[in-house]
Structure 1
Amino acid sequence: MSTRSTQIEVQVTCMRLEAEGVMSLELQAPDRSPLPSWTPGAHIDLVLPSATVRQYSLCGDPQDSRRYRIAVLLEAAGRGGSREVHTALRVGQRLTIGGPRNAFELQAADSYLFVAGGIGITPLLPMIRQAERSGAHWLLLYGGRARQSMAFVAELAAYGDDKVRILPADEAGMLDLDAIVKLAASGMHTYSCGPAGLLNALEARFAAEELASRLHIERFAAAPPAANVQAGELTVVLARSGRELAIPADKSILHALRDAGHCVPSSCEQGVCGMCETRVLCGEPDHRDMLLTEQERASGKVMMLCVSRARTPTLTLDL
């Protein structure tokens, strides 16, 4: 099993309200030494004072090795992590982070279309910076509930109206999927992050137009099941003991293992942190995590037990 997270101590050096309900944090090493390098699309694990772990996209400048920037949306109906960031953290406080890691790499291309929905702008900001530096042609379509809720609008405006289109729903309506597909069909590689509804709609439209290879998305929650996933009960074989477990349709493999008395390390339980990564010895996983690379997924050798299931009736795990 691989270790995907390097623990680093950092200090909160700046907190700024970027929009209604969106707080950005600047993190630096306590001695101001350089932090590990990263590439656009990367994220970190933020370990909060309560020991809660949450994953946030890096949205600063990859060429600035002295500081990381993240932005956190306050989610009233969330699990409490964003509330802790907004109400409990203070400038000067020391925290631990894991990473950085990247499962949303920006591939080299001559032309990019960036599509952001709300807080989904965060992983796209450094991509835009890299595209601008490389001289590539690019366009950002940035949707949100209302202008006052959309972070980094002033920062993006510096690129000019010909490259950045701010499209609040209360002013411009919903993002035009037809226009997005048309731009992708013209040759633009599309990178999108935002709410599940937007990403699901884009996946469906791009698949229908046979443009799936030009769509790259980042989800804040586990992906929906594949068409040929085992929708009902799944059998998991534990290779070290030979024990077989029936996994109900409404329960994750991770939780079923725990209920059966097996201790499996985990943290985020959303397919992001990688702590529950487990070797697969037989069977085909249905990957719903946001961490494994396409090559790792294709190999079928590992899976995240918290969110992934199977395309075959049985999985044999190295447990």
Structure 2
Amino acid sequence: MTDLLEVEVVARDLVADGVVQVTLSAADELPPWQPGAHLDLHLAPGLVRQYSLCGDPADRSVFRVAVLLEESGRGGSAQVHRLQPGQVLRTSRPRNHFELVPAKRYLFIAGGIGITPMLPMIGQVAGSGAQWRLVYGGRTRASMAFLSQLQEFGEQVEIRPQDETGLLDLGELFNDPDTLVYCCGPEPLLKAVEERCPPGVLHVERFNPKAPLSPEGSFEVEFAKSGVSVAVEAGVSIVEAAEEAGVQIETSCREGTCGTCESVLLEGVPEHRDSLLTPDEQAANDVIFPCVSRARSPRLVIDR
């Protein structure tokens, strides 16, 4: 991967049961970012994970991420929890597929560690004059990060620990089709919100991909800049077929959640399988995430 930054861990703070906030700094001023952005942290050889930035975008001296320890995870969160001040690692520049769109009214819905991208969003919205409300659910108060930070916003923030109030009652939330809804959290919460939310107002960020589909069917892909055409067979991703033909596409997650491999689509009809694009963005058919997506037409032309 190219264009990586070298950063140092300058602080490690436990901000809830099982949640650690890591503060990263660099020798030079860090790149700018906007609420909703995330980083790819290179934690060990072959171990790259994506985490939302939860600090202040105006502070160019540090990046901050908060990570929940996933006991049954794939090792990324455990590696973050082992980081100590003074350690040096590499990270991507910030990328944003969860941008805060200007609006007069917002509803933020966070489940557990899904609060992380909401913090800078709320900071920006609170200073803009827009109306907003946060509904924040979690297992227990002790497991919910940044509660003291959120207290300053008073009644605009609703804290709903499951052991005190039960599961989030979503039916009462979606009564204004002009309110933009931002949601981040576990997959059952995201699916429930998607089912109930009015069309065109929902923005979600997934930490894990939607239920994967097997890579069926074969098709042709032409890489316009490289002048190379490849046959993509069943069981092989576009990225894998490209690599075999000598066409390099920068990737990170390889499961359609990070956005690293986003490519401009010039011709053809894709079968979008990513967890990033909204239905309207998918319908535009002008970009594709070749790590997971496939083709509905016999041929695709990608600007690579």
Q: TM-score range by the shorter chain?
A: 0.7 to 0.9
Q: Are 1:175 and 2:163 counterparts? A: no
| Percent of matched pairs sharing the same residue | 47
The superposition leaves residues 63-89 of structure 1 with CA deviations (integer Å, 9 ceiling, x where unpaired) of 1121111011111222111111112x1
Conservation of the 8 A alpha-carbon contact between 1:287 and 1:303: yes
Q: Residues 132, 279 of structure 1: CA spacing in aligned structure 2 closer, same or farther, 3 A cutoff?
A: closer
Q: Residues 313, 119 of structure 1: CA spacing in aligned structure 2 closer, same or farther, 3 A cutoff?
A: farther
Conservation of the 8 A alpha-carbon contact between 2:205 and 2:276: no
Q: Which residue of 2 aligns with 1:193?
A: 184
* 1:279 positional shift: 5.1
Which structure 1 residue ranges, 4+ long, deviate > 6 Å from structure 2?
260-263, 292-296
Conservation of the 8 A alpha-carbon contact between 2:222 and 2:230: yes
Equivalent residue for 2:33, pick from 38, 62, 65: 38
Q: How does 1:108-187 map to 2 (within 5 A)?
A: 108-160=102-154, 162-182=155-175, 184-185=176-177, 187=178
- Secondary structure of the residue that 2:85 maps to in structure 1? coil
Q: Residues 114, 301 of structure 1: CA spacing in aligned structure 2 closer, same or farther, 3 A cutoff?
A: closer
Q: Which residue of 2 aligns with 1:72?
A: 67
Q: Residues 312, 145 of structure 1: CA spacing in aligned structure 2 closer, same or farther, 3 A cutoff?
A: farther
Q: Which residue of 2 aligns with 1:49?
A: 44
Conservation of the 8 A alpha-carbon contact between 2:232 and 2:238: no
Structure 1: segments with no counterpart, 5+ residues = none
Q: Are 1:287 and 2:272 counterparts? A: yes
Conservation of the 8 A alpha-carbon contact between 2:230 and 2:242: no
* 1:129 positional shift: 0.6
Aligned-residue CA RMSD in angstroms? 3.0
TM-score (norm 1): 0.82
**1:202 counterpart letter in structure 2:** V
TM-score (norm 2): 0.86
The superposition leaves residues 41-98 of structure 1 with CA deviations (integer Å, 9 ceiling, x where unpaired) of 11111111335211111101111121111011111222111111112x1101111111
Q: Are 1:246 and 2:241 counterparts? A: no
Structure 2: segments with no counterpart, 5+ residues = none
Conservation of the 8 A alpha-carbon contact between 1:102 and 1:291: no
Equivalent residue for 1:270, pick from 245, 255, 261: 255
Conservation of the 8 A alpha-carbon contact between 1:112 and 1:139: yes
Q: 2 CA distance for matches of 1:38 and 1:277?
A: 18
* 1:11 positional shift: 1.1
Q: Which residue of 2 aligns with 1:81?
A: 76
Q: Which residue of 2 aligns with 1:219?
A: 206
Q: Residues 96, 292 of structure 1: CA spacing in aligned structure 2 closer, same or farther, 3 A cutoff?
A: farther
Equivalent residue for 2:219, pick from 235, 243, 251: 235
Q: 1 CA distance for matches of 2:47 and 2:160?
A: 34
